[in-house]
Amino acid sequence: MRCDDLDDVIEALAEGDTLSAEYHAHVAGCSRCQARLAMARAVDRLLATREAPVPPAAFTFRVMERVGRAEWRAEQLVDVGFNVAVAAGIALVVAGVVGLAWSLGWLTVERPTLEAVGAAIEPWVSSTLARGPTVVLAALLLTSALGLWWWVEGEASL
């Protein structure tokens, strides 16, 4: 028997498992394997006597605080979703009512009125279109900033 053969069972020997007499005979005559066995026993003993780290006194309080924040954030998300859904619902109802009134002829808009509105918003529309790239860039920056703020807020609350 070679030392390498014994290497696989050193831990079992250290735990006191009963193995074939061959193994025991080898250990009895091999100083290298005796040292390995001594090391395995020492490791086992030290592992068994390691002190378990104790959590800090305020641990539970801090966990509960984080749980509370996470719950608050989840509720906020639900609230935002609910509000958006309500706003979308109202917009749909209003659009439906206006469309119905229009189709039934209860609501009419005179051509001069439409022209007047068109003339009023035309300068704003054309100047906005002229500054198109700037507006798009500003909108992107604003969206990114809002997204970043939302993400940071979320990380901080967890």
Q: How far is the CB of 52 from other proteins (least distance, A)?
A: 4
Query: Counting contacts by CB under 8 A, is residue 43 touching other proteins?
Result: yes
Helix/strand/coil for 152 = helix
The whole-angstrom separation of Cα 150 and Cα 156 is: 10
Query: Counting contacts by CB under 8 A, is residue 11 touching other proteins?
Result: yes
For residue 22, how many C-alpha atoms fall within 13 Å in the half-sphere facing its CB? 7
The whole-angstrom separation of Cα 133 and Cα 59 is: 52
Q: Where are the alpha helices (DSSP H) in the chain?
A: 3-7, 10-14, 21-29, 31-48, 59-103, 111-130, 132-157
User: How many amino acids of this chain bind other proteins (CB under 8 A)?
Assistant: 33
Closest CB to other proteins among residues 15, 122: 15
Interface pick for other proteins out of 109, 119, 156, 158 (rule CB under 8 A): 158
Q: How far is the CB of 80 from other proteins (least distance, A)?
A: 19
Interface pick for other proteins out of 39, 92, 139, 140 (rule CB under 8 A): 39
Measured between its terminal Cα atoms, the distance across the chain in Å is 58
- The contact set with other proteins (CB under 8 A) reads 4, 7-8, 10-12, 32, 35-36, 38-40, 42-44, 46-48, 50, 52-56, 59-60, 62-64, 66-67, 70, 158
